[in-house]
Structure 1
Amino acid sequence: MADTTAADAAELEPAEISANPHYRGADFDLRRIRRSVFSALLQARGRFGGKRIAAIDADGRELSYNDIIKAAFALGHALKQGTEPGEAVGILLPTGVGSIISFYAISAYGRVPAMLNFTAGDRALKAACKACKCKRIVTAKRFIELGELDELEAMLAQDHEIVHLEDVRENLTLGDKIAAAVGMVAPWAVRARPSPDSAGVYLFTSGTEGDPKGVVLSHSNLLANVEQVRDHVRILPTDKVFNPLPTFHCFGLTGGVLVPLGLGVPTICHPTPLQAKTIVKRIAETGSTILFATDTFINQYARAATNGELNSLRFAVCGAERVKDETRSMLRRKFSVEIVEGYGLTEAAPVLAVNQPDNNRPGTVGQLMGGCEARLIPVEGINDGGQLHIRGPNIMKGYIRPSAPLVLEAPVDGWHDTGDIVSVDDGGFLRIRGRIKRFAKLGGEMVSLAVVENCATSLWPDSMHAAAALPDKRKGEQIILLTEYAKADRADLIAFARNHGINELSIPRKIIHVEAIPVLGTGKTDYGKVQRMVAELMGEGVAAPVPETAG
C-alpha cells in the first residue's frame, strides 16, 4: 500500500486515514523482543563476549558485560529482600554505571525499575512513587552529597525506604555472593522470568499538567525500540556512544543504555549534560563516535569545544526539541559533524522516527521506525498536516496516575494520540509543526507558537526564547514572547516576518525580557512554567497549564 501524503491525509475523514495509514513493515525478527530486558543483556553477553567493555563511568572505570551481570545478580539479590515480584523499586541516580547496574539488578529478579527524576522536586517524586506503589528507593550517599539533595532525601524518607548503594555493597551476604556466582554460569537458575508483556520500567512525565503521569513500558516495548533503532541506523562495532542524558528520561535510558549494550558497543556515561567543557574533553579522550543530546546541550558543546574535540564523532543524534539551523551549521562548520534529528515520546520507548546519516533531511525528523503505523487526524485551521496518532510494538502499555495507582489506562486499540501536529512529505519524512496545545487561534487561524520562537531564534540565536498564548477578547488569543535577549525589539520581528513571507499573526503582541527561560532536566523548555510566568507577568493570574513537549 502506498503511503498517504500529508496533503491527502488532510482531506480524508479520520476513518479513511485509519484505513490508509503511513506504514513501514517490521524488518526485524519479532522473536528478539519476546524476552525480558535482563535476558536481552545475557544474550548480548553471549553474542559479544563477557569480557567486552560495555560501559565506561565518569571516573574512567570500565565495566565489561561480565562485570555488569555479576554486580546485577549480587545487588539484585540483596535488593529483592522485602519486595515482591512485579513490585516497583525506585532508582534515584544520575547517569552512570551505578544507575545501569541498579536498573538491571532490579530487573534480574522480576521487580520493576521506577526511574525517578531527581530534578522534579519532592512533591512530584512522591506522586510518581504513589502512581506505581513504589515503597523503596535506591540511591547513593555520594550522589546525594554532591547534588546537595539532603533535603529531598529527607522528604522522601518520610514515606519511603531509602537504600544507599554504598551500604548494600558493604553488607553483601554470602547468599548474595553465591547468587552472583551461580548467575554467572547458570543464569537460568537465578534470574526471574517475567512476561515480555509485563512492565519493564516505569517512567514519568515532567508533571507540567499537574501530578506526573507514569508511563508503563513493557520489556517488549523497550526491546522492540532497540531492534527498530538497530535496523534503522547503522551502528558499527567500532562505535562508542557518549551519553550525558539522564536515565530517568527515556532518550537517555533506551538510547544511552539499552541500545549500545544490546548492540555490543560501549556506552560512555556522564552524570549531567550541563558540564559542556568537561563533556567535550571526555568525548575527545574516549574517541566517542556517536553523541546523544538535545539541541540546547549540543549547541553548548559546539561552543565549548576547541582544538577539534568533537572530531571523533561520526554523527550526533538529537531529539526532545527542534534542532536549530544555527546549531546544525555550527557543528558542521567547526567539526564536519552531521546532526541526525529524530522524534520520540516516552510513550514510544521513545524513538518513533529518525533521520539516517546517509539519508538525512534537515528540518525533518526522518522516517518512521519499522513496524510503526501512523495516521493523521485533520485539525480545523491546519491544512498541511494533522494530529499524529501512532501504533506499534514499541508503544506503551498505558498510563498510571497517582489518583489511581497501578490502574492502567491503555491506548484504545493500541493507538496513541501524540498531541503533535505533523506533516509527511512524499518520501515519508515527518516534519513536526508543534503540539496541538502549542497553537494559538487568532482571528480564526491556527498559529504555531514554535514558529514564533523560530523567528526569534533566527534574529537572536545566542539567546533562548519561549512563546505562550493568553485569552484575548478581540482575537480569541494573543501571543506573548519571553526572551533572554535584553535588546529584543518587536519591530525587528515584524521586519523579519515581512522579509521571509511569514504570516504577521505570528508576531507576538508583546515581548518580555526575562533572566532565564525555565527548562526541564533534559534541557528542553518547561512550557508549563513558561505559561505560568507569562500569565503572572501579564497580570492574568495562573493560566491553564500546557502539556509537556514530546520527546
Structure 2
Amino acid sequence: MREVEPHDQALAPWPMLGRLLASRRFAPLFWCQFFSVFNDNFVRNMLAMLILFRLGETEAGPLITLAVGIFMLPSLLLSGAGGEMADAQDKARLAQRLKLAEIFVQAAAATGLWFSSLPLLYAALFGLGVIGSLFGPMKYGILPDLIGKHELVAGNALVEAATFIAIFLGLIAGGLSAGGRTPGGTVLQLMVIALACYGSSLFIPATRPAAPHLRLNPNIFASTASLLREFSHDGKLWSRSLAVSWFWMTGAIALSLVPVVIRNKTGGGIVVETAISALFALGIGIGSISAAIIARGRIFLQPVPYAAIAMAGFLIDVGAATWSLPMAEAEVDLPTFINTAAGLRIAVDVVGLACAGGLFVVPLFAAIQADSANEKRARIIGAVNILNAAFIVGGVLVTAALQSRSVGLSEPALLAGLGILNLGAAAYVLRCR
C-alpha cells in the first residue's frame, strides 16, 4: 500500500482540525453523525444490557452477537442502493430525509424499552441499520465535496472521533437506561436526540448531484452484485477496502465478546461493562485524531501495518488475561474491577486495541476517498460498506456459532484467536504496500 501525498508541504494538524470544526461546510455533518451514532449505540447497548442483566437470558452471548448481525445485515443488502441514491441526487437532501425517518424508528425503540420487549428493540435496531446503510455512502461520499483533499485525513479523523465519542456517550446512556433509569426519561432522551440529529442535517450544505442521469436499480441484489464486480477490478481500492472491512469485523466481534468475558470472568456489572465499552470508544477517538496529527495533511499509510500488529497483540493479551480465570461468583463494582490485576489489564488492552484501530482505519479510508472518481464516489463508498457488512455479519455469525453449546469455545479463546488472525491482516497490508 503506497502512501499518496497531495502536495509536498506537510500541514500543521491542530489548526486544520479547529478550522474544520468551526466551519459551516463541515460542522453540520459532524454533529449529524454524532447524534446519529449516539442513537444507534444507545439502542444497541440498552438491548445488550437488558439481555445480560434484566431479562436473565441464559444464551446472552449468542443473543448479543446476533444483535450486531441484525444491525449490520441491512448494510449488506442496501449499501449499493444507498450509493446510487447519493450519487444521483443532492446528498444533503438525502441526509435530511433519512434523519426524518430515524425519528419514527427511535419511537419504536422507546416503545420497546417501555415494555422491555426484545422483539421491538430488535426491530428498532434493524430499522436503524437500514437508515445507517443508506446514510453511510452519503456521509463519506459528501466529505470530499465539502473539504479539500489535503483536509481529508483530518475530516475523516473528526468524523471517526464524532462517531466514537457518540458511541462512548450512547453506551453510557444505554447502560443507565437498562440499569434502572425511569422509562419516561429515557423515552424523552431518545426523541430529543433524534430531533437534534434531524435538525443538524438541515444545515449540511447542498451539493450538486455527482451523476444526475443515474437510474436507480430497483433490484438491490443485482445492483449490489454489479457494484462489487466493477469495484473489484480496481486492485488498489479493493485491497484497501478489504483491510477496512477487516477492521470493522474485528471491532464488532471484540465488542460482542468482551462484555461476556467481563461478566463471566470478573463479575463486572452494568457500570463496569459500560465503562469498558466507553474506553473502547474513547480509544478509537484518540487513535483517529492521532492519525490526523501524524499525517499532517497527507494521505499517509505508513502506520497501517504496524497498527494491525498492535491490534493483534492487544487482542491476544485480552484472551490470555482471562483464559484461566474461574467463573465469577459475585458482581463487582468499577473500583473493585480496576483494582484487580485482570481488570486493569483488560482496561489497558481495550484502550490499546481501540487506539491501534483508529490509526489503522482512518488513513485507509481517506486514501479510498481520495482515489475515487467524483461521479461514482458514493457508490464506491457503498461497495466498501457492503464489504464491511459482509465481513461483520459473517464474522459475528461464525463467532455466535463457535460460542454455542454445540461447539463451546470460550470467549477468551475466541479473542486470542481473533488476535492471531490479525497477524495475518498485518502481513496482508504489508504485502499490499
The normalised TM-score by structure 1 is 0.20
The normalised TM-score by structure 2 is 0.23
Structure number having the greater helix percentage: 2
Which structure has the bigger radius of gyration?
1
